[in-house]
Amino acid sequence: MKIIGYTNDSYPERRTIINGNLHPLKKMKSLNTYYPHTALKRMPLIGRNAIVYFKDIVFNDEGVDGLHLFNTVTNKKVPWISTFETYIPRTSATSFLDHKNLTKKSIKEKDRTEKYVEILAKDYCKKVISLSKNNYEMELRFLEFFPQYKNTIKKKMIQINPPQEKLMEKSEVELKVVNPILKFLFVGKDFTRKGGKEILDVFYKIKKEHHFDFELTIVSLGKSYNYAFGKYQDTEEEIQEMKNKLRNTDWINFYESLDNKKLLEMMKNSDVGLLPTWADTYGYSVLEFQASGCPVITTNVRALPEINNTTIGWMIQLPLDNSGEVDVSSINKKQTLRAHLQNSLEKIVLEILENPQQIKEKSIQSYDAVSKNHSVKGYMEKLSEIYSENF
């Protein structure tokens, strides 16, 4: 067995490296090179053209056979692999990606990024694991800007679906009964980014104009910043109206947070999950809903079409760029997209309320899909094979 070093135990690392790993793990004393810690703290500024350059942070790699990193690279002379969810190396200094004719600023950013791309091409980097087909293709387009390294790095790239443990047995899902009063559930810290405002507006409209009874539960910190909006964020008035609706509506069950056990139990008892998101790197909550026998309404951004479709759930089709992301380039564009998102969500929710019998079949189909495509055992066996071959 190989001893695997890792650098962080936040949610993505627990999902993709720590939980269920077949090899002994050792947490390193400090963060690895080029970890986007500063960037995450300053994320609200990134949409306003702030540039975040990362520091090289040295850590002790003693006592490990290799390193498994997440969204990061390292110059340490020890074998390592990295799992990533958008592109790697991860940096906000990427104006060169949007310009065919490079400016002085974008040339500087490209040169700075290149030294970290070079690290990926070195022999110590053994594998680069993308979580989705979407971010695999994004990485290949990113590497077009560094042709001298592209082929070397491409040979190391592999795509592996992230794991999801079963939260119910198949027999329990088959016996699961659709509630007489349908239960809809939204889970997400970033309320606005994940479509929370659209959910509120749509369910308010349905409540006002139709006779249906339903239960809407929202678990969210209510964060209003949406990086997909860039410089076109919601106004203070819109944000305040949203917060008032969240906290002062008697037919909405609102929680800022729940412990994980209660949250998973709530998923099991819900009929429909909600993630009409503007932007998401993957959509882990969708996997958790599906593993609870709860089909989900999602948009089609980024990797979501890889884990949801109209057979196992419901999907809102948004116009996307070649990275699978929405382009909010003006206030008018944002308003048009929002209207389309709301109208599509309303149509789907009304269809579900009018024909709740469809939920049962989608419940079983979504459970089968996540069980087949996101097996913890299969995922960890693939990691074990990579460790054994490369460390």
Cα separation, 19 vs 4, in Å, equals 13
Summarised one tens digit per residue, pLDDT across range 63-88 is 899 999 999 898 888 999 999 999 89
pLDDT: which is higher, 34 or 239: 239
Q: How do residues 254-290 score in pLDDT, each as one tens digit?
A: 999 999 999 999 999 999 999 999 999 999 999 999 9
pLDDT of 311 reads 98
Indicate the average pLDDT of the chain.
90
Split at pLDDT 50, 70, 90, the class of 93 is low
Q: Sign (positive/negative) of CA torsion 20, 26, 31, 33?
A: negative
Q: Which residue has the higher pLDDT, 262 or 49?
A: 262
Q: Report angle CA 337, 341, 346 to the nearest 5 degrees.
A: 150
pTM: 0.90
- Compute the residue count for the chain: 391
CB of 286 closer than 8 Å to CB of 273 = yes
The Cα-based distances of 317 to 22, 290, 305, 342, 355 in angstroms read 39, 20, 10, 11, 21
Q: What would the mean pLDDT of 216-225 be, rounded to a whole number?
A: 95
179, pLDDT greater than 60: yes
Side-chain half-sphere CA neighbours of 385 within 13 A = 8
Q: Which of 24-28, 89-93, 114-118, 183-187 has the least mean pLDDT?
A: 89-93
Residue 35's pLDDT is 47
Q: Are 128 and 88 in contact (CB under 8 A)?
A: yes
Range in 27-36, 129-138, 165-174, 281-290 with the lowest mean pLDDT: 27-36
Which residues make Cβ contacts (< 8 Å) with residue 145, sequence separation at least 6? 96, 97, 110
Name the CATH architecture for the domain at 170-373: 3-Layer(aba) Sandwich (3.40)
Q: What is the DSSP string of 236-268?
A: HHHHHHHHHHHHH-TTEEEES---HHHHHHHHH
* For residues 286-298, average pLDDT: 98
Q: What CA dihedral angle connects 263, 267, 272 and 278, to 10 degrees?
A: 40
Domain borders along the chain are 4-163+375-390, 170-373
Mean pLDDT, residues 182-206 taken together: 97
pLDDT at residue 112 greater than cutoff 80:
yes
Q: What is the pLDDT of residue 75?
A: 86
| CB neighbour burial string for 84-117, b if at least 16 within 10 angstroms, e if fewer | bbbbbbbbbbbbbbeeeeeeeebeebbeebbebb
Q: What does residue 316 show for φ and ψ, rounded to 5 degrees?
A: -95, 125
Residue 58, helix vs strand vs coil: coil
pLDDT value for 110: 84
Alpha-carbon distance of 242 to 253, in angstroms, equals 15
Q: What are phi and psi of 350, to 5 degrees?
A: -65, -40
Per-residue pLDDT at 41: 39
Alpha-carbon distance of 66 to 79, in angstroms, equals 5
Tokens read off for 143: 């590497």
According to the model, what pLDDT value does residue 99 have?
61
Rounded to the nearest 5 percent, the helix, strand and coil shares of the chain are 45, 15, 45
Residue 48 or residue 3, greater confidence: 3
According to the model, what pLDDT value does residue 91 have? 73
